[in-house]
Amino acid sequence: MRDIDSAEEWLETWAAGVDANAARAVELSRRVAALTGEARSRNGSISVVVGSAGQLERLDIEDRPGQLTGAQLSREIMGLIGRAQAQLCARVASQVEQTVGADTETGRAVIHSFAERFPEPPAGDDHAR
């Protein structure tokens, strides 16, 4: 009878752990879905916001005649998007740590997924502040 009681207790503990892990994963998903990344050009004339999937959600360009050529503007915007995505990645890692933990299988998978999709921009890429 004692073995059955021990087995039932173990099963209840295991099930509670699974439920807690699932709840933390749902909370992480909810938090990540609300995250954004932002970057602004050094002179403040261009800003971008990316959504939780790294997609461009907002692009603001101030009117400053003759400031940049089309090619320069394109490079600036692409650099800002990369920086905003890197910021998003860092914010995701923070939420992982706060919910499921960065040392868990789920945490490592989420962090790895974002790091693979949005690598840190190359050194010397100082388009944004």
> What residues does each domain of the chain span?
2-117
Q: Report the 10 Å Cβ neighbour count for 77.
A: 19
2-117 belongs to CATH 3.30.1310.10: yes
Contact 118, 54 (CB under 8 A): yes
Q: Is the pLDDT of residue 48 over 70?
A: yes
Q: Over the chain, what is the mean pLDDT? A: 87
Q: Token pair of 37, please?
A: 């990344």
pTM above 0.85, yes or no: no
- Per-residue pLDDT, 125: 57
Least confident of 18-22, 91-95, 97-101, 107-111: 18-22
What band does 129 get if pLDDT is binned at 50, 70 and 90?
very low
What band does 17 get if pLDDT is binned at 50, 70 and 90?
confident
Contact 86, 37 (CB under 8 A): yes
Mean pLDDT confidence for 102-120: 93
